[in-house]
Amino acid sequence: MALMARFATGTPLAFQWLRTFGVKIDRVRAERLHGEWQVPRHAERGTILYFHGGGYIAGSAAGYRPLTVGLARLARRRVFSLDYRRAPEHRFPAALDDAVLAYRWLLDDQGVSPRALALAGDSAGGGLVIATLLRLRDLGVPLPAAGVCFCPWTDLAATGESLRTNNGRCPSFHPATIAKYARIYLGDASDRDPYASPVFGNLAGLPPLLLQAASNELLVDDARRIHDSVQKAGGISRLEIFDDLFHDWPILDGFLPEARQALRQAAAFLDEHAC
């Protein structure tokens, strides 16, 4: 299943090349840290640490360039897109460990200020944004200025009501697929561990969050419940629901107008909350 998902996830090479024209791509290959810098011509603001989607078993920094480069251009920020380790070869918490390592690397080795740094991600990567914030908070590491989550997967236990109410309305997944991906990633770990399913965590003390989701996708309640919990904990959260789209539509920036709209709104949120 993981091999099939890796083949099908992301965007074709031709689309990746077309969308990255004029953007400087610098691959990073250290002992533990893999990823790539994506730097647009007018990178006038801070830095985004990005986590790609793919259910923790598929996807890559290169495969999600149409989304990340679009966000980089619109936000006028450079992006470091992380190639975190994927299951089943590397199960939970490998992806989270890699995310924390990349964050510390940006602060300690690259000299990035937390005030000028934001986390962003889509689908599983959106859930990884929240999980990383929880881990950083619990470790006492200075938190970034903001987080942006496109269609985040935050409940690997699959308890959201929208898995039932949107079953058959979501063109991307069936509920059974969610459970299969979760078990491949988790192995023997609990699907209610907050570092895997942050919807079950204490969300106090997090930086401002933007959550976007489609009204008819299975995971819309994964975004709604994070939003509600952050607000109840006294934090700042903005929830934007787009009608009648599909899971992870922002990856089609340059082809789908609603993808550009989502990225523009994300860029505006970053301008509001990050240096």
- The set of catalytic residues is 123, 217, 247
d(C-alpha 144, C-alpha 142), whole Å: 7
Supply φ then ψ for residue 82, to 5 degrees.
-90, 130
Rounded Cα distance, 177 and 263, in Å: 27
Closest CA to 248 of 130, 159, 125: 125
User: Sign of torsion, CA 10 11 13 17?
Assistant: negative
Distance of CA 269 to the CA centre of its chain: 15
Could you tell me how far CA 226 lies from the centroid of its own chain?
14
CB 157 within 8 A of CB 201: no
Task: Supply the DSSP symbol for 115.
Answer: G
